[in-house]
Structure 1
Amino acid sequence: MPHNTRKTILITGASSGLGEGMAREFAAKGRNLALCARRTERLEQLKTELEQLYPKCRISIKALDVNDHEAVFHVFQEFRREFGCLDRVIVNAGMGKGASLGTGYFHANVQTAQTNFVAALAQCEAALEIFRDQNQGHLVTISSISALRGMPRAMTVYAATKAGLLALTEGIRADLIRSESPIKVSCILPGYIRSEINEKVKKTPFMIDTQTGCRLLVKAIEKEPVTAYVPRWPWAVIGFLMKRLPLKWVMKLG
Structure 2
Amino acid sequence: MLTALTLLNSASVIALAILPPRTGEDMLARAFIAESVDSKLRLTGDPAMVEAAALAFEIGPLPITIGERQRRTFMLASAVPTPVKNARQGEPAMVALEQGLTLTAFMRDLPQVAVLVERAALELDDAERHAREIAEGDIGPEALDRLQRARHGAALLAAVDLARACLYADLVGDGAAAKDRARALASRLPEPRLRSIVAFATMTGAVIGELGSTARAISAALRGR
Q: TM-score range by the shorter chain?
A: under 0.3
| Higher share of residues assigned helix | 2
User: Which one has the bigger strand percentage?
Assistant: 1
Q: Which has the higher contact order (CA 8 A, sep 6+)?
A: 2
Structure showing greater Rg:
2
